[in-house]
Structure 1
Amino acid sequence: MADPTPSTSSGKMLILVVEKDPHVRELEAHFLSQAGYSVEFVSDGQSALEQAQQLLPDIVITEILVPKLDGLALCRKLKATPQTRHISILIFSILAASGRAQEAGADAFLMKPLAEHRLITTVRGLLEHRSHPLTEAP
């Protein structure tokens, strides 16, 4: 099991969020930063792939329906690359697609709408149990 030690110079775990909706981004930023995480945002899958390769975040949270490279394709690419396969991936979507998320290699799946407790609990669980298979939050 990977040790959930801080990975940024600020001493905070880094989460890369791929979300095109500015209102959801604002809520995610608030919830995750209040929980003590460092958060970076991108609005499309291709930018997420590039940022993940550069920043090597602890977790990538992605919606499925994002431009340029959808969240499932992003997940497959990150999990297929040795440099990024250790990154935990949480698919967070309005689509009921937990099976598709699991097939793509996601570590967890959450349905929208955004609920602070479910998001933070899932993120903490991923950091504590990085090598476990897909979990679907209640």
Structure 2
Amino acid sequence: MLALDLPAHPRIVCPMPRTVLVVDDDPHIRQLLVFALGKAGLDTVEAADGEAALAAVEEHEPDLVVLDINMPRMDGLEVCRRIRASGDLPILFLSSRDDEIDRVVGIELGADDYVVKPFSPREVVARVQAVLRRTGGRAPAVSAPAIRHGRLLLDLDGWRAEWGGEPVVLTLTEFSILRTLAAMPAKVFSRDAIIDRLHGPGFAITDRTIDSHIRNLRGKFAALGATDLIETRAGIGYRLGACTG
């Protein structure tokens, strides 16, 4: 027999799939979302209540949580509070009520986005992917420069923020908004322009959501003495402040 000297097959390295934790007390909704997210190439973990959700976060370390607000025993708002107490894991809320109070409270707690029931599974998948795309840049091949402005430092590689050398823990959306403003500190961004930078044109999100994120940013930096982080231009939008404290 002849020995054929065949070229070795090139090694194909596949990116690690992202994992989404789906939390809802309705098994039919969980099944629907797990199927839709799986079709999009995402790994999924399920939890039927708040306590199981917190345990799943510890055990599986998901990349994002799809979290129902209205659950018995421990609701989604409390789960969000506990997750936010220990980190910046992205959270997308599901709400069964078209209740702006619920949505605003969720955003103020640090949620990155929300979807109101009844929803299209495609919409949930699209919003999940939009958030995960923003997290995908945490370890780029080429180091991105840091942004320094007054006492503010944004480490774009590490997704870290500092004020006067002190770290400030931000959610993904909060960091992305601040990075948008800091990249062009002289520019006044309308709320729509900020939404376009975060999600792309045509993404459905209210101005109140951006206002809530800005309020969160100001509150977190104010704890370190920052009084001029972001300027409001009445009737126009926001721009980065002097950041001198």
TM class, shorter-chain normalised?
0.7 to 0.9
Residue 60 (structure 2) pairs with residue 19 (structure 1)? no
Q: Which amino acid aligns with 2:113?
A: A
Cα offset, 1:71, TM superposition? 0.4
Residue 58 (structure 2) pairs with residue 53 (structure 1)? yes
| Cα distance in 1 for residues equivalent to 2:113 and 2:132 | 11
Cross-structure match for 1:32: 37
| Cα distance in 2 for residues equivalent to 1:21 and 1:67 | 11
Residue 73 (structure 2) pairs with residue 68 (structure 1)? yes
Runs of 4+ displaced beyond 6 Å: none
Cross-structure match for 1:132: 173
CA radius of gyration, larger in: 2
Residue 91 (structure 2) pairs with residue 89 (structure 1)? yes
Residue 116 (structure 2) pairs with residue 108 (structure 1)? no
| Cα distance in 2 for residues equivalent to 1:71 and 1:37 | 22
Segments of 5+ residues of structure 2 without an aligned counterpart are 1-13, 136-171, 178-194, 205-245
| Contact 1:73-1:104 at 8 Å conserved across structures | no
Q: Which amino acid aligns with 1:57?
A: P
CA displacement 1:31-83 (0-9 Å, x = unmatched): 000000111111000110111012110001111111332101111110111xx
Q: State the Cα RMSD in Å.
A: 2.1
Structure 2 length as normaliser, TM-score? 0.48
Q: Which stretch shifts more, 18-27 or 34-43? A: 18-27
- Say how many residue pairs are matched: 127
Q: Which amino acid aligns with 2:95?
A: S
| Contact 1:45-1:70 at 8 Å conserved across structures | yes
| Cα distance in 1 for residues equivalent to 2:126 and 2:48 | 24
Q: Which amino acid aligns with 1:86?
A: D
Residue 91 (structure 2) pairs with residue 98 (structure 1)? no
| Cα distance in 1 for residues equivalent to 2:23 and 2:121 | 17
| Cα distance in 1 for residues equivalent to 2:69 and 2:41 | 25
Cα offset, 1:104, TM superposition? 1.5
| Cα distance in 1 for residues equivalent to 2:33 and 2:91 | 15
Q: Report sequence identity in percent.
A: 30
| Cα distance in 1 for residues equivalent to 2:173 and 2:107 | 12
Q: Higher relative contact order at CA 8 Å, sep ≥6: structure 1 or structure 2?
A: 1
| Contact 1:45-1:74 at 8 Å conserved across structures | yes
| Cα distance in 2 for residues equivalent to 1:20 and 1:38 | 20
